[in-house]
Chain A
């Protein structure tokens, strides 16, 4: 007993270090990114309030540019609405549905905190569950995919950025329709990797990569980027470097995608897996 105490006394510095370091590594390794995002939730609530103020101030500087972008987008959307209305009236004259039968609806949000220089980047938005945001909803801009919502509080939500080495989404090569998984390798904030595209697909530089619609988070055919470089990895699959269309340094206003049938679809797909 005495010698144990002596041992503890002699090595307490090293032992305490090993104990705490072990605990830290355990925390790091045993929490997935959703849990980590929720851990920061309480403290981030406080930070978000401050970020919101800062963002309010800096937004004035971008008003002119933002206005031009919004006007251009409005025109495009108006045109689309007109076309769709026309189509709808011709095809389904008697359909009654409060959201017009749309599978997806979009709500807007503003980015109040964003990072691109870590390996696990997160974005904070100024909307939360009060406006109907919940976990695992897709977030896009007019230029493409931004990420997926993670933790949601009443007035704020965090988004796992596409620039997060843990996020993988399903994407396809638009011209050929083949799909693969898209992820960030943590190197360049302007480029992501699309893998699992088979060898027989003919690729050219500049081809468009879009979402596949195979997950319940993003509607199909949302643009992500264009093919920049590609090479064969492991014999039969291409690894494609995709140049992102959205500039993650300049993100400001985004859309949150709400998929109405997500619950029903996930239910069915999980059931299939369990059997």
Chain B
């Protein structure tokens, strides 16, 4: 139990450090911001209690907000995907994953499944985040373009990170 806690604390800290120190500083044409810190929410165990999932979502978002001066923005979006996660998991569940215990990582599930899982979560998160950031629908398609481009890059980084670093 405590081993698992330490592991999650490490994942949390390293994801936020990468996000804040590296990814927040790259500027690709003003359109693309990858947000990989949501991987933390994605990696929480399958059997986690619902309320705990929501609390983790909220706290993760609020930490991002605290470090980037965007009070409420990341917490809304991250809380939203924490809320959606059980529904997404049951929607895309296959025989391989239905009765699984443990964490939804790439190594224990198959690649196609993990990609679908990532795309759903990332799209939902970025959609909420970018529209809240713009706080209007007046540049609807422009914001949509930012959502889609950033989602592609985030998904790429998350998959890359899974391939390179997180192994069981």
**Which residue numbers of A lie inside 8 Å of B, CB to CB?**
12-13, 16-17, 20-21, 24-29, 31, 35-37, 39-40, 42-44, 47, 50, 54, 113, 115-120, 122, 158, 165, 185-189, 249
B32 at interface by CB-CB < 8 Å: yes
A144 to chain B, nearest CB (A): 18
User: B65 contacts which chain A residues (CB < 8 A)?
Assistant: 39-40
Contact A24-B51, Cβ < 8 Å, known A17-B83, A115-B24, A116-B30? no
Could you tell me if A47 and B20 are in contact, using CB atoms closer than 8 angstroms? yes
Assess the B33–A118 pair: CB atoms within 8 A.
Answer: yes
With CB as the reference atom, state the residue of chain B lying closest to A14: B83
CA distance A249 to B29 in the complex (A): 9
User: Is B45 engaged at the interface, CB distance under 8 Å to the other chain?
Assistant: no
CB distance from A252 to the nearest CB of B (A): 14
Interface of A is mostly: helix
Q: Scoring B residues 28 to 52 as 1 if CB is less than 8 Å from chain A, else 0, what string do you get?
A: 1111110000000000000000110
Main secondary structure of the interface of B (DSSP, over half): helix
- A24-B79, A116-B30, A120-B133 known; A185 and B139 CB under 8 Å? yes
Q: Mark B3-40, 1 if CB is under 8 A from A, else 0.
A: 00000000000000000110011011111110000000
Q: A16-B54, A17-B79, A20-B54 are in contact. Are A188 and B68 (CB under 8 A)?
A: no
Whole-angstrom distance between the alpha carbons of A13 and B21 in the complex? Answer: 33
Cβ–Cβ contact B50 & A13, under 8 A: yes
User: Quick one: which of A13, A27, A40, A165 contacts B54, CB cutoff 8 A?
Assistant: A13
> Which chain A residues border B82 with CB–CB below 8 Å?
17
Give the CA-CA distance A20 to B25 in the complex, in Å. 29
The CA of A110 and the CA of B54, in the complex, are separated in Å by: 40
A to B CB contacts below 8 Å, 5 in the list = A27-B71, A28-B71, A40-B71, A115-B27, A189-B30
Which 8 pairs show the lowest CB-CB distances between chains A and B?
A28-B72, A40-B69, A27-B72, A24-B76, A13-B50, A189-B30, A17-B83, A24-B75
Residues of B within 8 A of A (CB): 20-21, 24-25, 27-33, 50-51, 54-55, 58, 61, 65-73, 75-76, 79-80, 82-83, 86, 132-135, 139, 142
CB distance from A12 to the nearest CB of B (A): 6
Given A16-B50, A20-B79, A116-B30, list of 17 further CB < 8 A pairs? A12-B51, A13-B86, A16-B51, A17-B82, A20-B75, A24-B79, A25-B72, A25-B76, A28-B76, A36-B70, A117-B28, A118-B33, A119-B135, A120-B133, A122-B69, A186-B134, A189-B30
- Tell me which residues across on chain A come within 8 A of B70, comparing CB atoms: 36, 40, 118, 120
A-B contact count (CB 8 A): 103
A44 partner residues in chain B, CB cutoff 8 A: 67, 69
Q: Which of A20, A31, A120 has the most CB of B within 10 A?
A: A20
Set of chain A residues within 8 Å of B30, measured between Cβ atoms: 116-117, 188-189
Chain B residues near A118: list those with CB within 8 A. Answer: 33, 70, 133
User: Could you tell me the distance in whole angstroms from the C-beta of B42 to the nearest C-beta in chain A?
Assistant: 17
Nearest residue (CB) in B for A12 is B51
List the A residue with the shortest CB-CB distance to B32: A117
Contact pick for B139, options A13, A116, A187, CB 8 Å = A187
User: Which residues on the A side are within 8 Å of B28 (C-beta)?
Assistant: 117
Q: Which residues of B contact A119 (CB under 8 A)?
A: 133-135
Neighbouring B residues of A24 by C-beta, 8 Å? 58, 61, 72, 75-76, 79
Shortest Cβ distance from residue B62 to the other chain A in the assembled complex, whole angstroms: 8
The answer to whether A36 touches B54 (Cβ under 8 A) is no
Residues on A with C-beta less than 8 A from B50 are 12-13, 16
List B contacts of A35 (CB < 8 A). 71
Q: Which residues of A contact B76 (CB under 8 A)?
A: 21, 24-25, 28
